[in-house]
Structure 1
């Protein structure tokens, strides 16, 4: 296997935040799911889409926020869009436009590597642009164009999807999320659906953002990129897209690398429980780290940490804290910020510091953590949009009755006592998708065991709170994939984790389809 001496550079990866956004679109309620069509639409119905030419150009005019304006000004990046049908049952109807951004191969291109960074709601264009310095050092970028795409409703893709403005999120006027969404009446669920319909330009745009259609879009992208077979790298939610693509188009897979896998054998409710068990484990480890320092805000004993956390945060239920810029910090904001920090061990000291400051009446540090969850820019733009996250999950996951939703919230409080406040887990909650204008379009389970795939690769990190380690083991078994175990406590390892061991194994696979030996392990 090739080795290399790579200079370390600061990691700019934003997928920990993206993936926690994935965890917020939790359990959807009510109707039984409707299975997707057994077969993709006939190629002849899509011929016009498959034959379109991509007009690659500079990315300066493609940014949708000030952060991307800076990133996309890089002259080494190229942008384009690809048209896809909004409704695949009506290929002659309205079209959506999917935004693409690529780093052209530095050598002779052998194809494209298509990337999804997670979510749902992760913008692949921003991810590739932000990590351009890391790709410059990668041998994969010598032989492959590195291509990020914004799934339907995300980033630069149109039609855009919006339910609440960034200002409404900042003001606490959107549904709050802790263990579940703070929706306790049918009227609130109906308001959410109505706002999303209006903000998306109509029902058709809203109900066609589910993963089934994103996978079909990926096959059109593969074709117009000029690749006979797909090479795909998916983080977190990207594991679902990659596995679903492999099941729908097994003969069109060249390479499938998954980093941080969702367990396909779990129901959404079971997946949420597994996430919260892992998040609690990371918090317990953070508490142990805190108690090694004098005057730890979480107490002198790790066993006291949950009670101390509640002492610091529960007052926010009735009286939000106020940051120096005048913005309020609600109980929902505080938990979003803590969650965001728990997704990488490197951020744990920031959580401890923020809780200490909050206990002293200072809210700016916890507000900064909350802002990192949304990818909030200095201009107040949220670069990670929970509206899209909600919409995708409403079309992907079977829905729960109000009784099931309330019980699910209580169970999350039991397995993760850090969340066990009445405001977060004790209410009569209802599913956020209860009034959605269409039933889910994805079946459960979303992928089934197969032996028809070429060699694929799954990375699973032992201390990953977003996609727990067992999910990677199970998805590898489901796909018949090779498994790389990564010792570490963060979400996302390849390219962004600082491990040459990880990078060299994944590079060898993406370049030459070399899979690691059984039992292979690396560490971050």
Structure 2
């Protein structure tokens, strides 16, 4: 959920005219760098063969992103289960843009955009242009990786077919909080969990080892194989959880780490849901105030009445979805998903207003397209795997929530802090797929123990809709790192054109200089 804005910005940045000439394959080897855990020597010292990225594309987004110039891709092999390093293995997709000034090269900058479930390869390709503009591309190899089970990595997490995903989006049964409605929702969630185990290669063995616990071990293997004694890392959104977990597991292996759009390290699934709801509620308020100043505001010229105007507009979709062509209809779920997608960044607010004005005329194409972007549905009706991976990873990263009273309270609190998402019907106490997950969780939220960690830099945005500002404050405190505040309404900000933020981040990554305590940035 928390990566869409970055992904959209990245794809726009990386698209090129004409296809780049594929690079000739090259094999590189380095002796293991830094400490090597016992039994993992063959992984830490493996060779990588860098070649054309086109065969790694698994989606329309990836095909577009991988047309960027001067990129190479490779596969990294890691244990499926680190407790059994001699057993089965999985592979991770890697993308690299080499430093353009070999004499000034510092090392690799490894990127993860979060999700969980988003492609680090696609994100890294999209960051080439801004990294070039800020000078980072001269000093660092820009490296993106698809975490285990995601994107080009193999095997990939797979739960629903394209047709099943379309049907799920069209079904608004989650608005039915009656006993029969709860029973139906839970049957669907249980079926989803079973399909994930059935359709993912290696089944429960794979699902048991896709969490952040294992990703950080993969990240340390990657650090060594790239020839870096210490890791330089850029994590966005849920990528901050990977970063903080790596900092705890390998504190002395960190050179520098920027964590932007932080996930609170000590917040459980219920607390995170409510906090995120508050973030989107605040972003909707900001949108409503902007919209009220526009002559054609779909919600009227009085921002105070925007929530009711929005509810009056979208609630009828529960019973009367709007046709959008190709046999599809705009459901209530898709309408609200499209709105959430647009709230990730102010640049989409005009598009959102257009979509809401269309809905007033019983047209839903724009909101449906926004929902398609969020769900990674391409023009041919095919889906990426992000949503499947999102659920699978969250189900092993957090303890499951099974108490109906706790679930009901969370849903009620959610619509209090995000009233625009109140569907007007009794809240549901239905358990989600994680309650029926076939394997136990392997992690749980906590303040990390990071003794010996180098100074980190956390960037937090005051009106971040997906990862509220206080989460960044808490993460910086937990890591004993520096905090950089950006005053704005968007999700993540580094390398997105805000000069104050970009300069502070570049200075830190290049020479370790953190901004003075209390530093705040605004504007562009």
Give the structure-1-normalised TM-score.
0.88
Contact 2:96–2:143 (Cα < 8 Å) also in 1: yes
Paired position in structure 1 for 2:332: 331
Q: Give the 3-state SS of the residue equivalent to 1:113 in structure 2.
A: strand
- Partner residue in 2 for 1:7: none
User: 1:359: Cα distance to partner?
Assistant: 1.4
Classify the secondary structure of the residue corresponding to 2:460.
Answer: strand
After superposition, the Cα gap between the structure-2 partners of 1:443 and 1:70, relative to the gap in structure 1 and judged at 3 Å, is: closer
> Counterpart in 2 of 1:4?
none
Instruction: Describe the superposition over 1:300-323 as per-residue Cα deviations: whole angstroms up to 9, x where unpaired.
Output: 422221111111111111122111
Aligned to 1:101: 95
* Corresponding position of 1:442: 443
Distance, in Å, in 2 between the alignment partners of 1:220 and 1:16 is 29
Query: Is residue 457 from structure 1 mapped to residue 457 from structure 2 by the alignment?
Result: yes
Post-superposition Cα deviations, 1:199-239, rounded to whole Å, max 9, x if no partner, equal: 21211112211110011110111111111000000001011
1:54 lines up with 2:48 in the alignment? yes
CA contact (8 A) 1:153 1:161 kept: yes
CA distance in 2, matches of 1:261, 1:416: 20
Contact 2:10 2:126 in 1 (8 A): no
Q: Gaps spanning 5+ residues in structure 2: where?
A: 12-34
In structure 2, relative to structure 1, the CA distance for the partners of 1:410 and 1:467 (3 Å cut) is same
Higher relative contact order (CA 8 A, sep 6+): 1
Deviation at 1:75, TM superposition (A): 4.4
Contact 2:342 2:370 in 1 (8 A): yes
In the alignment, which residue of structure 2 is the partner of 1:417?
419
Alignment check: 8 A CA contact 1:116 1:238 kept? yes
> Contact 1:15 / 1:118 at 8 angstroms: preserved in 2?
no
Counterpart position of 2:129 = 133
CA 1:180–1:164 in structure 2 vs 1: closer, same or farther (change >3 Å)? farther
Distance 1:294 1:253 in 2: 51
Q: 1:75, 1:131 → 2: CA distance?
A: 12
Alignment TM-score, normalising by the size of structure 2: 0.88
Q: 1:73 to 1:512 in 2, by over 3 A?
A: same
- Aligned mates of 1:300, 1:336 — CA distance in 2: 24
Q: Taking structure 1 as reference, are residues 104 and 458 closer, same or farther at Cα in structure 2, changes over 3 Å only?
A: same
User: Who is 1:25 aligned against?
Assistant: none
- Provide the C-alpha distance between the structure 1 equivalents of 2:266 and 2:431, rounded to a whole number of angstroms: 25
Equivalent position of 1:24 in the other structure: none
2:252 alignment partner in structure 1: 251
Q: Which moved more, 1:407-416 or 1:63-72?
A: 63-72
Q: Which moved more, 1:377-386 or 1:203-212?
A: 377-386
> Equivalences for 1:419-498 in 2 at 5 Å?
419-422=421-424, 426-445=427-446, 447-448=447-448, 450-496=450-496, 498=497
- Are the structure 2 counterparts of residues 190 and 170 from structure 1 closer, same or farther at C-alpha, using a change threshold of 3 Å? closer
Moved more, 450-459 or 385-394: 450-459
1:76 aligns with 2:63: no
**Pairing of 1:314-393 with structure 2 (within 5 A):** 314-383=315-384, 385-393=386-394
3-state SS of the aligned residue for 1:218?
helix
> Deviation at 1:67?
3.2
Question: 2: distance between equivalents of 1:421 and 1:236?
Answer: 27
1:291–1:461 Cα change, 3 Å = same
Equivalent residues of 1:179, 1:412 under 8 A apart: no
Distance 1:216 1:183 in 2: 39
The answer to which of 499-508 and 287-296 deviates more is 287-296
Q: CA deviation at 1:384?
A: 5.8
Counterpart mapping for 1:272-351 below 5 A: 272-294=273-295, 296-351=297-352
In the aligned structure 2, how far is the partner of 1:145 from the partner of 1:306? 46
Are the equivalent residues in 2 in contact too, given 1:15–1:492 (CA < 8 A)? no
Deviation for aligned residue 1:285 = 1.8
Separation of aligned partners in 1, 2:456 and 2:333: 39
Distance in 2, Cα, partners of 1:426 & 1:523: 38
1:168 paired with 2:164, answer yes
Contact kept, 8 Å, 1:16 with 1:343, in 2: the verdict is: no
CA distance in 2, matches of 1:174, 1:88: 40
* Equivalent in the alignment of 1:407: 409
- Counterpart for residue 21 of structure 1: none
CA distance in 2, matches of 1:51, 1:177: 51
Q: How far apart are 1:14 and its partner, in Å?
A: 1.2
Say which SS state the counterpart of residue 55 (structure 2) adopts: coil
**C-alpha separation in 2, matches of 1:264 and 1:223:** 26
Deviation at residue 60 of structure 1 after TM alignment? 2.1
Aligned length: 489
RMSD, aligned CA: 2.4
Q: Which runs of 5+ in 1 are unaligned?
A: 1-10, 19-40
In structure 1, C-alpha distance between the alignment counterparts of 2:166 and 2:393, rounded to whole Å: 22
